[in-house]
A and B are shown apart, each in its own frame.
Chain A
Amino acid sequence: MIQKKICMVGCSGVGKTSLVHRYVESIFPARYHSTVGVKIDRKRATVRDQDITLLLWDLEGGDTTVELRPSYLRGAAAVFYVVDGTRPETLDLLFELRRQVTDAVGSVPAIVALNKCDRLTDWAIGPDDLFRLEKADLPAFQTSAKTGERVEDAFHWLAHETT
């Protein structure tokens, strides 16, 4: 079966691990555990009538400074960026992360999850931010690992782009 490595990339606490849990196990952990190194999960998906295995590499995020280990990115077929929609600074840092990803693996399919969209009163992503993403040619979904909103869609969209 075809395997595709997808790297989850974003700052610490944006919800990368929670999105993987929601997608793979249909659960949302109530507690936060910071990832150390890389956690690896698998998920089978059907794309264009073809069964593939997505290898989800959940990369440790940094707090305010972000420095990815290029060795973790090696061989990535796609990158799933995650932003915390209640913390706009995590979107600012996304562009630096993308530069590092491009340096490491070149141009690969990518998506941005604007996560925590269930927290409407704290939501801090506005039209200008969406315009920045559009200008950078980064497709975005509003997701909630907590409710599951658009999580499956986001992963499936990216899987589709890799095949």
Chain B
Amino acid sequence: MPDRQITMHDFFGMTRRGQKRSVNQDQFLVARLTRTASQLYTSLTHVAHPFWEHASEAYLLVVADGLGSGGRPASSIAVEVLSEEIAAAARGYWGLDVESEHELLERLEGAVRAAHERVVARNVGSDLLEVSKAATTITMTMLLWPRAYVLHVGDSRGYYLHGGQLRRFTQDQSVEEALLDSGAIPESEAGQSGLSKVLARAVGGEDATPRVGLVDLDEGDVLMLCTDGLTRCVEDDTLRAVLEQDISAQQMCEQLLAAALDADGEDDITIIIGRMGFIT
């Protein structure tokens, strides 16, 4: 047994243009936000578990799937704005009490609003054709171990593998899902309306209100964010089988990308995977 164990996370992200697309409209970001606390002097002869090493780290994970011919700038703008806003918002939120936790959530929502406003600003006042206007999905997680805060707009997805079970913590915000939820179309007609790819909510669209939630993770869990380019052609059983393996996050991403490409992979594919809290 080593004399010092450290809980680490292993992240990887990748994106690939769809086989029937000329431009990749997806974007992603994996960022580590740190507030450094380094041990300079101590009378202790041995510090086995410096508590600050992980209390002072947060991770920001974002996937964005641009829509229509204005999709690439929309997803770019959204991810850039989110990274700027959240880097500023994260300051001072390393040890969360209840009030500051809700303040953090409000600021994360504010970051999504800022991204939306910036994308809308690109559309307004321009001579762009309606079809060229920008919009994008956003699925975002801020991890302050062990808590993963989730904000979600559109139909990109978030999952985590826990105890061998694959669990999805986002719901697609498509027009078809909204009609099914309202009872306007019966469950038996799911997938037949032609509206499963039409979004009810999108950053840059008419309604960009994010769904907000959180999940507390355990060591050994595997977190995954992805765009629908993956989930429209790879079944949940395959996702689970890949995430269950004892391999790196990069290898998981590569295997899932290969599975998507094998299964046609016509849409852009973006995947972020984080292996949570394995011990070195």
Residues of A at the B interface (CB closer than 8 Å) are 3, 5, 27, 29-31, 33, 36-41, 55, 69, 71-72, 74-75
* CB of B183 closer than 8 Å to a CB of A: yes
Residues from chain B with a CB closer than 8 A to the CB of A39 are 211-213
Q: Which residues 77-133 of B sit at the A interface, judged by CB distance below 8 A?
A: 97-99, 101-102, 105
CB distance from B210 to the nearest CB of A (A): 11
With A and B bound together, what is the CA distance between A31 and B147 in angstroms?
Answer: 28
- Contact in complex: B182, A40 (CB < 8 Å): no
Taking residues whose C-beta sits less than 8 angstroms from the other chain, chain B's interface range is 20 to 34
CB distance from A49 to the nearest CB of B (A): 23
- Contact in complex: A40, B214 (CB < 8 Å): yes
Per-residue A-contact encoding for B143-176, CB less than 8 Å = 1, 0 else: 0001110100000000000000001110100000
With A and B bound together, what is the CA distance between A135 and B161 in angstroms?
Answer: 41
Residue of A nearest to B186 (CB): A30
Which of A33, A38, A71 is the one whose CB lies under 8 Å from B213? A38
Which of B98, B168, B181 is the one whose CB lies under 8 Å from A36? B168
With A and B bound together, what is the CA distance between A69 and B214 in angstroms?
Answer: 12
- Contact in complex: A31, B213 (CB < 8 Å): no
With A and B bound together, what is the CA distance between A30 and B190 in angstroms?
Answer: 13
Q: List 10 A-B contacts (CB under 8 A).
A: A3-B102, A5-B98, A27-B182, A29-B181, A36-B167, A37-B148, A37-B150, A37-B213, A40-B105, A40-B212
Per-residue A-contact encoding for B37-79, CB less than 8 Å = 1, 0 else: 0000000000000000000000000000000000000000000
Which of B102, B146, B181 is the one whose CB lies under 8 Å from A55? B102
- Contact in complex: B187, A31 (CB < 8 Å): yes
* CB of B215 closer than 8 Å to a CB of A: yes
With A and B bound together, what is the CA distance between A109 and B147 in angstroms?
Answer: 26
- Contact in complex: A74, B212 (CB < 8 Å): no
Residue of B nearest to A29 (CB): B181
Known: A29-B182, A37-B150. A74 touches B213 (CB 8 A): no
Residues of B at the A interface (CB closer than 8 Å) are 97-99, 101-102, 105, 146-148, 150, 167-169, 171, 180-183, 187, 211-216
- Contact in complex: B183, A38 (CB < 8 Å): no
Residues from chain A with a CB closer than 8 A to the CB of B101 are 75
With A and B bound together, what is the CA distance between A50 and B213 in angstroms?
Answer: 27
Which of A29, A33, A69, A74 is the one whose CB lies under 8 Å from B98? A74
Known: A3-B102, A37-B213, A38-B214. A75 touches B182 (CB 8 A): no
Which of B148, B171, B182 is the one whose CB lies under 8 Å from A30? B182
- Contact in complex: B214, A31 (CB < 8 Å): no
CB distance from B166 to the nearest CB of A (A): 10
- Contact in complex: A33, B171 (CB < 8 Å): yes
CB distance from A162 to the nearest CB of B (A): 13
Which of B98, B182, B215 is the one whose CB lies under 8 Å from A37? B215
- Contact in complex: B99, A3 (CB < 8 Å): yes
Residues from chain B with a CB closer than 8 A to the CB of A31 are 180-181, 183, 187
Known: A31-B180, A37-B150, A37-B169. A75 touches B98 (CB 8 A): yes
Residues from chain B with a CB closer than 8 A to the CB of A30 are 180-183
Known: A3-B99, A5-B98, A31-B181. A36 touches B215 (CB 8 A): yes
Residues from chain A with a CB closer than 8 A to the CB of B214 are 37-38, 40
Residues from chain B with a CB closer than 8 A to the CB of A5 are 98, 102
- Contact in complex: A71, B169 (CB < 8 Å): no
CB distance from A15 to the nearest CB of B (A): 15
- Contact in complex: A40, B213 (CB < 8 Å): yes
